[in-house]
Amino acid sequence: MFALCDCNNFYASAERLFRPELNGRPVVVLSNNDGCVIARSEEAKACGIKMGDPEFLVRDLIKKFAIQVFSSNYVLYGDMSERVMHQLSRWFPRLDVYSIDEAFGWLGGVRELESYVPRIRESVVRNTGIPVSIGVAPTKTLAKLANKMSKKSGGVLVLDSEEKITAAVREFPVHELWGVGRQHYKKFEALGIRTAAELRDMPEMWFKQHMTIMGQRMWNELWGRPAIPLEQVREVKKGITVSRSFRNYIEQPEILAEAVTLYASRLAEKLRREKLRCLYLQVFLYTNKNREDHPQHFPSHTHKLLIASNSTTDLVGVAVRVSAKLFRHGVKYRKAGVIATGLVPESELQLNAFFDHDGGKKDTVSAVLDKLNLAFGRGTLRMASEGYEKKWRLKHEYLSKGYTTRWSDIIKVK
């Protein structure tokens, strides 16, 4: 049996956790630069706030219903996600973390699921404060379906018999099925297929002729035949990107260097966290394509390193030099980013016979950066070229504190 554990309105729930006075009140979380809505509490949904609504278009609703607004605090959300996944790992023999707020668990051999699964949910809520919903079924597709239905039935739904599965798929909308995209839904709509039950009643040959291999797997999974296993070994990533839009246009090369320094530093952190190194570093710049009165410029350059690296000093040095060459005076840049490709595990580093290098074993600068920033908060120690004022940084006027990641923000109880 598979279980899908999903955090309810995760970003909004993480913000409420440290602001209990907001329980029962509408809450929304905005995207980078406070652009649009990316998370809503149930109360905010009832107020008419839709996912993806631009912030400036819903200001009247925010004011009318006294909706609490937060800027996205990804450091906090990432930390709370790790806590939730740690709790879940105690209950499942195997756990596949699917996204920041979802995980599939394997419950093979576990009996009395009707009493066991609610205990998992209670444990996560008690130990992390984050509400979760859990759906259990013989396949991952049905577990996803059960999870969605569980949000309206107390947070837990177990489909452990053919009768329960048949009842669940009978009225479940086909467009809400895991793996059904816009193009597939148009095809189903043209055939008059509205529910998951009607879809699985289609002959297997039709799936082979009109759907991809994923469609055939979906058909088997809807009949309770597992076709999508848990990922026991994750594929090595092909690339890692760090990019942001600027709060204000950048027109000076030294200001651009500050932004690129920050992005390259973040990229190096991510590589070290994944125990990877990159052989290629790409830097790109964007102007605002929606402004016809601005000169347009979308340069990009990929630099090959002599030896694959995840050193902050190495990557920052390359990124700053490349960005300086890409920069053009008289152009207003709106966005920049760095991409690491040619990724190799740290344990498989290929050295260069014509280049004096210690293999990264003595990268003390990066080690000190990681140690101090982990202990005292990100940005405590940083590269000098990152600057100080950073007027170009993301707009986050409603940013909450780093309650679990910064010593100065820890809640004090008197």
List, for residues 332-389, the tens digit of each pLDDT value.
999 999 999 999 888 777 766 566 555 555 578 888 888 888 877 777 888 888 887 7
Higher pLDDT, 157 or 350: 157
pLDDT band at 413 (very low <50, low <70, confident <90, very high): confident
In terms of DSSP bridges, do strands 132-137 and 68-71 run parallel, antiparallel, or are they unpaired? unpaired
Question: 115 with 122: CB under 8 angstroms?
Answer: no
Q: Which fold has domain 161-234?
A: DNA polymerase; domain 1 (1.10.150)
> How much is the average pLDDT of 1-7?
93
pLDDT band at 30 (very low <50, low <70, confident <90, very high): very high
Per-domain boundaries in the chain: 1-159, 161-234, 239-386
Task: Give pLDDT tens digits for 344-356.
Answer: 888 777 766 566 5
The CATH superfamily assigned to 239-386 is DNA polymerase, Y-family, little finger domain (3.30.1490.100)
Q: What is the pLDDT of residue 408?
A: 83
Mean pLDDT over the full length of the chain: 88
Position 9, amino acid: N
Whether the predicted pLDDT of 145 surpasses 80: yes
- Kindly state the percentage of the chain with pLDDT values over 70: 95
Q: How far is CA 385 from the centre of its chain?
A: 28
Helices (H), 234-379: 253-273, 312-326, 364-376
> Angle between the 113-128 and 74-89 helix axes, to the nearest 10 degrees?
140
Q: Which fold has domain 1-159?
A: Alpha-Beta Plaits (3.30.70)
pLDDT band at 244 (very low <50, low <70, confident <90, very high): confident
